[in-house]
């Protein structure tokens, strides 16, 4: 079946612009996660959605970052007034129930470059 998909695969933007990144989770997965991986660094958790519960936003680095999810489907991560330090690969993952024993399946990521 189809895995997690993300778009765009690459995004180059100028400092100060806003960007929107999209994630389509695996159909039927109730949990969705966003992570960021800067060059040479480990993945950093950003935000977690589980069904209709309030999202866990504890990993968002600043108020320039926000994310939405419509029901149990598509999610968008928005970065306002982008800065050069936002350059990274943004990875989305989904899991079927969101429990700690559940496997998270990752999408291919969006590579964001802020000039």
Partner 1 sequence: RKEVEQDPGPFNVPEGATVAFNCTYSNSASQSFFWYRQDCRKEPKLLMSVYSSGNEDGRFTAQLNRASQYISLLIRDSKLSDSATYLCVIHNQAGTALIFGKGTTLSVSS
Q: Interface residues with partner 1 (CB under 8 A)? A: 33, 35, 40-45, 48, 50, 56, 59, 91, 98-101, 103-104, 106-109
**Could you tell me the smallest distance in angstroms from the CB atom of residue 48 to partner 1?**
5
Please, which residue, 33 or 65, has the CB nearer to partner 1? 33
Residue 46: what are its φ and ψ, rounded to 5°?
Answer: -110, -60
**Could you tell me the smallest distance in angstroms from the CB atom of residue 81 to partner 1?**
25
Q: In sequence order, what are the residues at sequence separation of 6 or more whose Cβ sits closer than 8 angstroms to the Cβ of residue 53? A: none
How far is Cα of residue 41 from the mean position of the Cα atoms in its chain? 16
Between the alpha carbon of residue 48 and those of residues 1, 12, 19, 24, 73, the distances in Å are 23, 25, 19, 14, 13
Please, which residue, 52 or 103, has the CB nearer to partner 1? 103
**Could you tell me the smallest distance in angstroms from the CB atom of residue 19 to partner 1?**
20
Please, which residue, 80 or 104, has the CB nearer to partner 1? 104
């Amino acid at each position: 079946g189809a895995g997690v998909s993300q778009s765009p695969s690459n995004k180059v933007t100028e400092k100060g612009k806003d960007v929107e990144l999209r994630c389509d989770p695996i159909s039927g997965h109730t949990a969705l996660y966003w992570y960021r991986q800067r060059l040479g660094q480990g993945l950093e958790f950003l935000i977690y959605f589980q069904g209709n519960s309030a999202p866990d936003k504890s990993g968002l680095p600043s108020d320039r970052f926000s994310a939405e999810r419509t029901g149990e489907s598509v999610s968008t991560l928005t970065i306002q007034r982008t800065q050069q330090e936002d350059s990274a690969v943004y990875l989305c993952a989904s899991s079927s129930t969101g429990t700690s024993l559940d496997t998270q399946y990752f999408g291919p990521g969006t590579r964001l470059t802020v000039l």
